[in-house]
Amino acid sequence: MHHNEFQSSSSNPAAVDRMGSHSTHPRADATGVVDEEVLTYHEAALLFKVSARTLERWTREGLVPYIPLPQRGRWSGVRFSRNQLLRWLRRRTVRER
């Protein structure tokens, strides 16, 4: 697989959503469900520009917000909300004094 296959079109702020809008905010559809991008470990690691192993460690240590998936046996996967990760990153950004 190539590196670009994992990048989604919504990582581009100017990407057009399926309704033709250029908004980067989640939108509710007719049923009221919010259309929010959910990322895998690999996609979230690309967003942060860190390795998937680093992101796995941060998740295990409870440093980043994540969504636990239903447990299957002893293993349970996780996903990440792109909006929550960006919000987390902004809160942690050190501002110039």
The CATH number assigned to the domain holding 94 equals 1.10.10
Residue with tokens 């990760």: 85
Determine the pLDDT at residue 60.
93
Structural domain contains residue 27: no
Cα(97)–Cα(86) distance, rounded to whole angstroms? 22
Residue 43 Cα distances to 14, 21, 47, 94, angstroms? 19, 23, 6, 24
Q: What is the pLDDT at residue 31?
A: 58
Threshold 0.75, pTM exceeds? no
Q: What is the pLDDT of residue 29?
A: 56
4 in the Ramachandran plot: left (φ > 0), alpha (ψ -120 to 50) or beta?
Answer: alpha
- Give the residue numbers spanning the domain of 56: 36-97
Q: Is residue 17 part of a domain?
A: no
Whether residue 81 contacts residue 67, with contact meaning beta carbons closer than 8 Å, is answered with yes
Number of Cβ within 10 Å of residue 41's Cβ equals 18
Total domains, the chain: 1
Query: pLDDT in tens for each of the 97 residues of the chain?
Result: 444 333 333 443 333 333 443 344 455 556 555 567 999 999 999 999 999 999 999 999 999 999 999 888 877 789 999 999 999 999 999 988 8
6: exposed, middle or buried (Cβ count in 10 Å: 0-12, 13-18, 19+): middle
Does some domain include residue 54? yes
